[in-house]
Amino acid sequence: MQNSEKETPEKSKAYPTIAVGGAIVAGIWAVWRFRRFETVHDIPKSLFPNKGSDRSQRFRSLFGYVTRVGDGDNFRFYHTPGGYWLGWRWLRKVPTSRSGLASKTISVRLAGVDAPESGHFGKKAQPFSLEAKQYLSKTLLHKNVRIIPLKVDQYSRLVAGVQYYPISHFFWKRDIGPAMVQKGLAVVYDGTDGVFYPTSKEQLLSLEKKAKKKKLCLWSQGNRVVLPSEYKRNS
């Protein structure tokens, strides 16, 4: 006596149907998972951390390319989901013209730090603002970064933790914020609306204290130092 029945024709036909259904579901998931965000308004709320939650929660990140550095603490970010694995920059090109990038990049503000203000609209630039911008450009411009969305500010900029790759194509990452504070090219953000990740405010304050003690860059001015926040309030 046989222990198993022979497959019926109906059962045999069900397998291809299940396979096709699974492929469709997988395709829909892939399109959703690797969709590109062109502007800050395209980023879903689910990618932002919950307000008032602790650092133990899971923070989401986006991979992309820095197209322009505007100041010592902000830049334009072109989202390239999937990175090299999905053909970005070898099969799929990142636009280089301003017209091609105008509405397809995200304005990113570094979280937790404040760099000296550049000269805008007739205002005089703060000391070491050029050095801060040059360092940010040297480290990030035309390179891949991973950003952690934290919030959107009143200027529609994405405030984010920003990690760069000291060695191209390697997985090891560094947080740009503490690197700038450590060199005296930025200070810890002192506003009540500040957000801090992946480096905590306490860690940043410790680095700032050391840079101040060594009189690095903006701290070399001694008592003449004007913090960026104070400069903006008085401008």
Residues labelled catalytic: 109, 117, 157
The Cα–Cα gap between 168 and 185 comes to: 24
The C-alpha torsion from 178 through 180 and 181 to 186, rounded to 10°, is -130
β-sheet bridge partners, residue 108: 75, 158
- If one counts every other C-beta atom within 10 angstroms of the C-beta of residue 8, the result is 9
Write the CB contacts of 137 (distance below 8 Å, at least 6 apart in sequence).
69
Among 5, 136, 142, which Cα is nearest to 72's? 136
First to last CA, the chain: 93
DSSP secondary structure string for all residues of 116-174: PPPP-TTPPPPTTHHHHHHHHHHHHTTSEEEEEEEEE-TTS-EEEEEEE-SSTT-S--E
The Cα–Cα gap between 147 and 142 comes to: 15
Among 206, 47, 223, 30, which Cα is nearest to 112's? 206
